[in-house]
Structure 1
């Protein structure tokens, strides 16, 4: 039976509506799938567990325990105003006298706390807890704080050592543990002293310090910022944000060919970016990074993407370069995680981070104290994804 023209028109209209509805449904499904994929990728990138395994942690802990009571060799940073000021490391610093110098001792203790927090049932955990409990006494930590009250010592370890002390404080603050709470209470006077000194000093600091070792300014500002967020110190957080913008906010076309220097353990260029990703939101940071490293998406960042070699691991300055590989690794990873999942710069940075991390980890345990008194802490910082939200 043949259909009339009107029936054919109606059927055609219905088919057209059906096809349009199906196309719209397909478009909606596609949009939902893309959105779900982005969510899953984002979740996966931020939910990855820290990569430090038990065997690695055991090696790092052993190195830290070996240095924690090793008083000599030691490099003091004291200013002597009279003969009586000439004292042994343990007399000057009843807690942080090992590991060659004060800041290395501080981050050695931080590393032990970090490892214990991440692996509380490890075979070495009971020993580490006992050691820390014996070190973090109220009297000893009060004496550490009193050291900074002397006029000539107010700039002691400014700002690198201060940064590690606040990283230690943040680690304790972030851990729901009976001993950690006790240790934090004992640390409080020293922690407050460091925060007070930083708040006093930063308004006077008119220019950034752009070098690849201790005096560099972006690394401590980043650590201060993390502590302020954790402690809820809004005033300190605002001060650090303002200084970060003042120092680095207008930076453009960073001269990547100028790095590294011969004894760097930081990339001042990457440290600045690692700071700015903290104080800017994702969109503003992405824009800032485009101006700062304009060819990053094409994988062009000069020597920053080339892991450095170490000619002599027994030289206390040259071994700094092993630390440079580790800090480049963690800054690149942190910067990558601050970018949108669709940003091509993520993959570029993550690939270089892996290469630098591998090169740095190979030099952590060489049998030479010049590197072993500090590199394990940097390895733990990298492998346990400090500063990256999961």
Structure 2
């Protein structure tokens, strides 16, 4: 980690030196574009102050300087399209140019094009941890799971204060592990709400033993047991078990509260794609059966079945609204092939980002958008 920090610092210093050599010429060219003498601060303001305008740098994760620059350009393109009428009006009346005009024109000058790219690349390295870190929704800073009173928590940066577990927000941005993975569990441990210390695990195998003997044993479902067995075998066979997302059993909608509305049988919160998927084991025998049905009229049966379905639909909607979790249901037909059910879960565990935008493509779209503004 020390070597990485030194490399990043060296890269930032190199970029600063290159920018210093280019500044005088860059400022002269910038002044010609805006039509007046300008200061270095004024030029940099058009580029640097828009990091949270063109991209959501607080919440977005960037894979590389190129990814950051491409998304920054893409955000500028969207702003150009949204303000086309205002840009056209300023052109007609010769009003002072704004950022959404100045930057595209700077990028048409190859010298300024290189200067802006270097400036943004330096910004990426100056804020390296913040740029590469995945940014989960605040609702997922604490994940609580388990059935009944046997509740466990997985927090990003757990701290026990005033008798309660919470996240140490000052520490959260410094954590280096991928959230909600096996590595996350090994770094922070699991939280028992009534305990003042996390339950820690010495290595992957120690955690898998805990998963098998404690977490998986809570369920009486043969299907859930079969899924858990396959998950454990999958991690043991993995070349990089720490990066595997945790297959969370019984994710609780209301957190650690004993009384709560819903639990999802299994959930995958994938930090590599920021996709959240829940899996419901839903055989008709347990989810859609009606007690005493032989003594009830068809109307009553229909009403009770409708109520059960409404509850299932409400559950799906609630998890999606609160956590962004999409729910997949395995019915009797699906569960007849438990290996295929596992295959669907495995794909959610293994999915990785499809890759960043390219700078070239983002620049083409920006210039096309700017050229489309009517005079």
TM bucket by the smaller chain? under 0.3
TM-score, reference length from structure 1? 0.24
Flag the structure with more relative contact order, 1 or 2, with Cα contacts below 8 A and sequence separation at least 6.
2
Flag the structure with higher helix content: 1
Flag the structure with higher strand content: 2
